[in-house]
Amino acid sequence: MRHLMNVLNLSVEDVAELIVLAEDMMREPAKYSEVCKGKKLATCFYEPSTRTRLSFEAAMLNLGGQVLGFSSADSSSAAKGESVADTIRVISGYADICAMRHPKEGAPYVASLHSSIPVINAGDGGHNHPTQTLTDLLTIKNLKGRLDNLTVGLCGDLKFGRTVHSLVEAMVRYPNVKFVMISPPELKIPDYLRRDMLEANGIEYKEVNVLEDVLPELDLLYMTRVQRERFFNEEDYIRLKDSFILDAKKMKLAPKDMLVLHPLPRVNEISTEVDKDPRAVYFKQAQYGVYIRMALIMTLLAEADN
């Protein structure tokens, strides 16, 4: 039984196969409209979500399967004190695969230890968000044509932003990928990532706090929201929330072929005037999330059946 907790549970070859499958699903969706007929996806979301939950559900419906689930801890028996371990034991009898989001880091992993169906981590606290990373990789490969030889700017909340953590882990595996980390000093990437991913793999990177200075050298700019829900106090959040705002004036400094990605939701960090810039691909990226989740669900279910 294969679960997906971290993007590193997938080899570079696995990721390449998922991207090829997702691109085929984009081109010929009808070919896949019944491949999960009779199967059910449970979406167990203990934390708010728009894209991840609904794109998982759209993915399963596109594959001819069905969906069930809950969208908040309050609307499940977690509100009565039920453990994640007991919940997944029960869900294993109701569904064939489960996507779980939880505010506590490692909660989907605990679920996987007690599950008889594949469990997909749909975001655990400030830790990982592997299906967002698969979405990002599909977007980059499809629109940029490659996953290697890229200078990637990561901007905003690099401390609590789980999408950034998963993306760094995934992209250090491709040749000649360099990172430019753009954040306030308080929101730098965690030490474990710097040590275990960047320095251990000899990856070229720099940490800066002025976006304008580095825009001309980027192939990709990955903007992130300051993660209000992970701050210990509101004062710090208010002080840091508008540290970086990408606007049309700053976009003039960027290369003509630089792509702007954002996992969304956006708050203030990208001015809406940037949306009409052809380099702004974040809404397309959200759409790609459906196709990569279709590919993942189909693959994990096929493996579980064998």
69, 123, 156, 161: which one binds ligand CP (CB under 6 A): 123
1, 11, 146, 265: which one binds ligand CP (CB under 6 A): 265
Q: How many CA atoms lie within 13 A of 210 on its CB side?
A: 4
Of 16-24, 217-225, 259-267, 276-284, which segment contacts ligand CP by CB under 6 A?
259-267
Of 22-30, 182-190, 223-231, 263-271, which segment contacts ligand CP by CB under 6 A?
263-271
138, 181, 259, 264: which one binds ligand CP (CB under 6 A): 264
Q: How many CA atoms lie within 13 A of 151 on its CB side?
A: 15
Q: Is 178 a catalytic residue?
A: no
Task: Name the residue with tokens 């210990």.
Answer: 232
CB–CB of 76/49 below 8 Å? no
Q: Which residues pair with 153 in a beta bridge?
A: 180, 221
Q: Is 101 a catalytic residue?
A: yes
**List 101, 165, 225, 241, catalytic entry:** 101
Q: How far apart are CA 253 and CA 256, in angstroms?
A: 9
Q: Is 129 a catalytic residue?
A: yes
3-state secondary structure of 141: helix
Q: How far apart are CA 168 and CA 177, in angstroms?
A: 10
Site string for ligand CP, 42-71 (x = CB under 6 A): -------xxxx-------------------
3-state secondary structure of 43: strand
Phi, psi at residue 209, to the nearest 5°? -130, 15
* 170 vs 214, beta carbon nearer ligand CP: 170
62, 71, 87, 132: which one binds ligand CP (CB under 6 A): 132
Give residues in contact with ligand CP (CB under 6 A).
49-52, 123, 132, 263-265
